[in-house]
Structure 1
Amino acid sequence: MVALRSTYPVQGIFFFVAHPQLWAKTICPFLLTLIFGIISLVLCFVFLLPLQAHALINANCPAWLAWLVSVIFVLLESAIIDVIFFAILIPIFQDALFDATLKARGLSRMFETRVPVSGLTLCCRGIGSGIIFVWFLVLAQILVLILTAPLHLVPVVGTVLACYINGWPACWGAMIHYDLEFRGFSIGDSRRHAWRHREEYCQFGVVAVALELIPLFNLIFMWTNIVGAALWVADEYERNERDIAAIQKQQQQHHSSSSSSLPYQAVPYPSATQGYTGGYPSSSPSPYYQQQPQQS
């Protein structure tokens, strides 16, 4: 049974808590973001809260409502500032956590079968997933966050809509490391794949973004969302392996029942990257080969 994409951010929380070896990947950046998060929350309440409240009161808004709305906005503003700080500072640590999660799931073989990427290509992409591109993607995410910020004025519905809109770029950002470093995709390939699967990306992203908007707790959820993305990839990889094993078994049964006197020719057997369109395929680049009777 295929898990709903929206469940993976929550799965990431439980998996992260249950695997202490993942904590070491986050201690340093977490302390930095925690300190920054506390400072940003204090500064927002000290400076932005009275400014916004007085502006609303001057606009003939009732004082109690002005202060309530201002508190809500300050919390959202602090969360967005934390997201921006985290996204600019942490891309390298995210890749390390993603890889550590795959290994914790027992999928070290993914690092042996991933698509080879030339050193020159990796150099052009930069460190990890490509710092320059990741920052460009971060700027795009920040722009979308800013443009959708007014939607939070509409209780519940507006916030859900804003999370849904931000969900696709957020999910793509979480998956870009796998696309570039494991599957050998170009940035354009990754974007096109993400767009073809935008509904799945949005399902994951809407929950991930919602978690990251919770003040202070978002400093943890920013990490667990990366874990959730890795778990999604791991599930798809294992499911694809099972599909390939089932096809191999059928092929073997077919060949064993065929006449051994017939001449044979080698035909390509579908690899984990061929002919698979559901979610994320395996990264193995090598096709398997089986013998098939040649019809006379």
Structure 2
Amino acid sequence: MIIPSSYPVQGVMYFIGHPQLITSILCPIIMTILWAIAATIFAFAYLLKVQAHALIRVNCPAGLAWFVCVIFVLLELALMILLFYLIILPIYQDGLFDRVLKLRGLRHVLEQNKGNGVVKCMRGVQGGLLIVFIQIIVLLLTLPLNLVPVLGQVIYAGINGWILTFGMRFHYDVEIRNYSVSQSKSEAWKRRSDFVGFGGIAVLLELIPLANLLFMWTNIVGCALWVADEIEKAERTTMAQQQEPQRQQQQQQQQQQSTLSSGGGSGGPFSPLPQSTSSLSPTLTKQDQPPIKKTGSRLSWFGRNKDQLRQRDQEPGPGQV
């Protein structure tokens, strides 16, 4: 049974159990860390002072101004890192996704669905830009929900989780299954409960500070595992449907053989001939035979009485009188 909400955790375990996947994310992780360091220096060295002095100039107490600005700078810093992630992640996530499918023995799925490279490239660029744009807009609109304890974060994770899952599976839909952007979007909405279940857990993992740099990639691994299980399930179903006529034919042959073997003692076509009545019926003895009625005369071959024939021979003919 496929439970989408369990795959983010499965992705973490699978990533730990397959160290060769680390090489696929070393470059983007190093780039993200360098960007985070640069953004942190810029935020606290420049943005913090500018915003604090601006609040002080409007007669805001200095202590309160600096405290509020620190909170604002942290939020801005997180937003800058997240935007960088949204831009750089699609460049590397497709390679990680395909590598997981290959480790699951589904290389043939990638090779048999090559299609038109130009069309897939255009679809990928169009859909990728659309998804990134939607992710940024929804992220900015739902970011204040994190100020509400527990409930706000759950709602935030559910809304952004659907979009996150749509973006992760977009590569599979467009470049492997040769779906159009509209078909991929329609399926994402049709299966929104599964997408929210997977994406909600994935977003909650990405809210954990520092660890989210790892969970961003393990979520992709989990999504690839989810897709791999769906592909294997579909292949098993197809194989079972193809083997069904052969299985039914074998069952019919077995039934015919069992019918022939069981019909041997009940007059079947290969049953032995019945014994003759002389061997089956008991032999009658002389005492058991019914008495034969004796008559005074014996019958000739023509059924006449021999005495009558003798009398006729003794009578004179018409010439003897």
Normalization by structure 2: what TM-score?
0.68
State the partner residue of 2:305: none
Check if 1:216 corresponds to 2:214: no
Question: What amino acid is the match of 1:86?
Answer: Y
Question: What amino acid is the match of 2:15?
Answer: F
Indicate the larger mover: 164-173 or 70-79. 70-79
State the partner residue of 1:163: 157
Check if 1:235 corresponds to 2:229: yes
Aligned residues: percent identity? 48
CA gap 1:131/1:89 in 2 versus in 1, 3 angstroms = farther
State the partner residue of 1:141: 135
Aligned residue runs from structure 1 range 195-206, under 5 A:
195-206=189-200
> By percentage of residues, which structure has more helix?
2
Question: What amino acid is the match of 1:5?
Answer: P
Distance in 2 between the 1:191 and 1:159 partners? 25
Contact 1:76/1:215 (8 A) holds in 2: no
CA gap 1:11/1:218 in 2 versus in 1, 3 angstroms = same
Which of 232, 235, 239 is equivalent to 1:245? 239
Contact 2:4/2:195 (8 A) holds in 1: yes
Indicate the larger mover: 222-231 or 115-124. 115-124
Which of 122, 125, 137 is equivalent to 1:124? 122
Question: What amino acid is the match of 1:110?
Answer: V
Which whole-Å deviations, capped at 9, do the CAs of 1:24-54 have from their partners, x for residues lacking one? 1111111001111233345445666788899
Which whole-Å deviations, capped at 9, do the CAs of 1:75-120 have from their partners, x for residues lacking one? 55433322210121232211111000111122222223x4342234
Check if 1:30 corresponds to 2:24: no
Indicate the larger mover: 86-95 or 170-179. 86-95
Distance in 1 between the 2:133 and 2:172 partners? 20
Which whole-Å deviations, capped at 9, do the CAs of 1:213-233 have from their partners, x for residues lacking one? 223222221111111110100
State the partner residue of 1:278: none
Q: Which runs of 5+ in 2 are unaligned?
A: 57-61, 254-321
Normalization by structure 1: what TM-score?
0.73
Q: Which runs of 5+ in 1 are unaligned?
A: 58-62, 260-296
Which whole-Å deviations, capped at 9, do the CAs of 1:249-295 have from their partners, x for residues lacking one? 43321133458xxxxxxxxxxxxxxxxxxxxxxxxxxxxxxxxxxxx
State the partner residue of 1:182: 176
CA gap 1:33/1:10 in 2 versus in 1, 3 angstroms = same
State the partner residue of 1:265: none
CA gap 1:250/1:54 in 2 versus in 1, 3 angstroms = farther
Distance in 1 between the 2:36 and 2:24 partners? 19
Check if 1:115 corresponds to 2:109: no
Distance in 2 between the 1:202 and 1:122 partners? 26
Check if 1:192 corresponds to 2:186: yes
Contact 1:38/1:216 (8 A) holds in 2: no
Distance in 2 between the 1:192 and 1:5 partners? 18
RMSD, matched Cα: 3.2
State the partner residue of 1:5: 4
State the partner residue of 2:277: none
State the partner residue of 1:276: none
Contact 1:37/1:216 (8 A) holds in 2: no
1:236 aligned counterpart, secondary structure: helix
Question: What amino acid is the match of 2:157?
Answer: C
Indicate the larger mover: 195-204 or 98-107. 98-107
> By percentage of residues, which structure has more strand?
1
Deviation of the 1:142 alpha carbon: 0.7
Deviation of the 1:205 alpha carbon: 0.8
Question: What amino acid is the match of 2:115?
Answer: V
Which of 141, 145, 153 is equivalent to 1:151? 145
CA gap 1:247/1:179 in 2 versus in 1, 3 angstroms = same
Deviation of the 1:67 alpha carbon: 8.7
CA gap 1:17/1:74 in 2 versus in 1, 3 angstroms = farther
Q: Which protein shows a greater Rg?
A: 2
